[in-house]
Amino acid sequence: MLTVLANRTYRHLFLAQVIALIGTGLATVALGLLAFDIAGADSGAVLGTAMAIKMVAYIGVAPVVGAFASRLPRRGFLVAMDVVRGLAALALPFVDQVWQIYVLIFVLQSASAGFTPTFQATIPDILPDEKAYTRALSLSRMAYDLESLLSPILAAVLLTVINFHWLFGGTSIGFAISALLVLSVVLPRSTAAPPSGGIYDKTTRGIRIYLKTPRLRGLLAITLAAAAASAMVIVNTPVLVQAALGLGQRGVALTLSAFGGGSMLSALILPRLLDRISDRWVMLAGSAALVVVLAALAASWGTHLRPAYWAFMLVAWILLGIGYSATVTPGGRLLRRSSASEDRPALFAAQFALSHVCWLIAYPLAGQVGALVGFGTAFAVCAALAAFGLGISILIWPSVDPEVVDHAHDDLPFDHQHLVNDHAGGKAHHAFVIDDLHSAWPGR
């Protein structure tokens, strides 16, 4: 897997991603402490609102940025987003009002909503070989998992010698290093003409392409299944472990580590697995595993007072991590297959926005059901939501999903360049994607 790091450009971008993730992890810890410092007992409400603002920024800003990202120099744009994120983080220690936190969080997350999809859309152009790109996706998944494991530990160590306000300084340093690493490489720029149309057409182009592509509609349904499982883990693990099982913070950390470890194990296996098995079957199998494990947890919750239940829960969290990684990691391959280079930033931005709609549904559902009805019901509801996503994906994602799809162009003159180059002999010889010449999927 590490052979992909031999590519200097990708190596620098991967390091930029890792360092920026660590900085973001430090900011997450510091933000909770800052909210408590300002709002005291109301800090939970402040953090909840901040998370809602984050989701609004992701869902609303990403498509707008994706519409114009292909027209901007990628390196300059990514560096600018890092600078904005760094300045926002640097300003957070100086706030003394809750509304100031909200404003800075919106600015920081809006910049992230511009940076992340553009960064993700750049990698396929740097690594055009599918096997290399698959390994890059697995490395990226592992980077997220490592960050979730290591950032809280690093923050805890730093807090023994510095005030929590300085953690935001670490975040700014992370974004600064990320910007320098991006500046150190030359990024490919699409040579294709930017898409035509007005602001509305450009802003909605990525989502329209996404929703017209059967495999991507299937990806969105599977993302809902992944969101159901991960929301249960992220939102309810602290309460499950401490309140229900009577364990301490160490138990919470170990349980979350089990989920992260399972995800990392899956990411290590996936490159070889995807060389032999289609993305569809791997992702459906991962989603099915999530449904089965969540259902088993729901059925067994009545025995949770037994000492052995935590061991059972750790195994379940490992399996949830494996299934989660199997559902989300191959998504970049589907987006790459489904877009021309000029539309790739918009399509990655669409996935970024639509996937966070799934999390916006799953997070409050898992939290509120667990708090109001009970965790057995919460497990069951999340299992049902994951099963719904899995079922929809099976129905709308064709089992036969070739890249070259037979189609005709009755609306084009016989000497049109597209027909001459890509339809020699009257038969299609190119990968089918939704674009200006292909406005709908054949037969749908």
DSSP string, 84-145: HHHHHHHHGGG--SHHHHHHHHHHHHHHHHHHHHHHHHHHHHH--SHHHHHHHHHHHHHHHH
SS3 category, 260: helix
Q: Is the pLDDT of residue 353 over 90?
A: no
Q: What is the pTM of this model?
A: 0.83
Helix (H) or strand (E) holding 425: none
Residue 124 has, within 13 A of its CA and on its CB side, a CA count of 24
Q: Name the 3-class secondary structure at 42.
A: helix
Q: Are residues 86 and 223 in the same domain?
A: no
pLDDT mean over 186-209:
70
Domain's final residue, options 188, 221, 239? 188
The domain boundary residue, chosen from 188, 220, 249: 188
Domain count, the chain: 2
Using an 8 Å Cβ cutoff, are 327 and 223 in contact?
A: yes
Question: Which residue do the tokens 């309140």 mark?
Answer: 243
Q: Which two tokens stand for residue 400?
A: 């036969």
Contact 35, 43 (CB under 8 A): yes
Going from the C-alpha of 25 to that of each of 1, 148, 409, the distances in angstroms are 25, 7, 50
197 Rama class: left (phi>0) / alpha (psi -120 to 50) / beta: left
- For residue range 114-146, what is the model confidence (pLDDT) as tens digits? 888 888 888 888 888 888 888 888 888 788 777
* Segment holding 186, helix H or strand E: none
| 324 and 271 fall within a common domain | yes
pLDDT digits (tens, 9 = 90+) for 270-327: 988 988 999 999 999 999 999 999 999 999 887 766 668 888 999 999 999 999 999 9
Residue with tokens 């994120």: 85
- Say yes or no: 184 and 218 in one domain: no
Q: Is residue 428 part of a domain?
A: no
Tell me how far apart the alpha carbons of residues 342 and 346 are, in angstroms, rounded to a whole number.
8
- pLDDT tier at 183, thresholds 50, 70, 90: very high
Q: Residue 396 belongs to what H/E stretch?
A: helix 375-396
Domain contains 146: yes
- Across the range 200-213, mean pLDDT stands at 83
In which residue are the tokens 């360092």 written? 19
Evaluate whether residue 425 is within a structural domain.
no
What is the per-residue pLDDT for 48?
A: 61
- Is the domain of 179 the same as that of 248? no
* pLDDT beyond 80 at 32: no
**Residues 359 and 56: beta-carbon distance below 8 Å:** no
Question: What pLDDT is recorded for position 394?
Answer: 96
Mean per-residue pLDDT of the chain: 85
| Lowest-pLDDT choice from 99-103, 331-335, 379-383, 407-411 | 407-411
> For residue 279, which of 339, 334, 217, 212 has the smallest C-alpha distance?
334
State the CB neighbour count (10 A cutoff) for residue 376: 17
C-alpha distances (whole Å) from 165 to each of 103, 159, 168, 351 are 18, 10, 6, 34
How far apart are the C-alpha atoms of 297 and 86, rounded to whole Å? 41
Q: Which amino acid is at 22?
A: I
Identify whether residues 254 and 161 lie together within a single domain.
no
Please say which residue of 142, 172, 188 terminates a domain.
Answer: 188
What confidence tier does 41 reach under pLDDT thresholds 50, 70, 90? Answer: low
Please indicate, yes or no, whether residues 181 and 216 belong to a single structural domain of this protein: no
Least confident of 92-106, 137-151, 211-225: 137-151
Residue 98 one-letter amino acid: V
Residues 245 and 353 in one domain: yes
- Residue 298's nearest CA partner among 382, 387, 379 is 379
**Residue recorded with tokens 């449904």:** 291
- The pLDDT of residue 219 is 95
pLDDT band per the 50, 70, 90 thresholds, residue 198: low
Quote the pLDDT of residue 284: 97
**Residues whose CB falls within 8 Å of the CB of residue 286, separated by 6 or more in sequence, listed in order:** 222, 226, 266, 322, 323, 324, 325, 326, 327
- For tokens 């969290």, name the residue: 317
Cα–Cα distance, 28 to 20 (Å, whole number): 12
Note whether 63 and 99 are same-domain residues. Answer: yes
Note the pLDDT tens digit of each residue in 246-271: 877 677 778 878 888 898 899 889 98
The CATH number given to whatever domain includes residue 184 is: 1.20.1250.20
pLDDT above 80 for 195? no
Which domain range does residue 2 map to? Answer: 1-188
pLDDT for res 107: 92
370-381 tens-digit pLDDT: 888 888 999 999
pLDDT at 47: 66
Residues 82, 151: one domain? yes
* 234-238 mean pLDDT: 80
Which one, of 365, 330, 367, 381, lies nearest residue 351 by Cα?
330
User: Residue 243 pLDDT > 60, yes or no?
Assistant: yes
Question: For residue 316, what are the CA distances in angstroms to 286, 295, 324?
Answer: 14, 11, 12
SS3 415: coil
Q: What are phi and psi of 368, to 5 degrees?
A: -70, -40
Cα–Cα distance, 73 to 266 (Å, whole number)? 35
In a shared domain, residues 102 and 180: yes
Q: Mean pLDDT across the stretch 349-375?
A: 86
- Model pLDDT, residue 57: 85
Same domain, residue pair 92 and 178? yes
* Highest mean pLDDT of the ranges 243-252, 265-274, 400-409, 414-423: 265-274
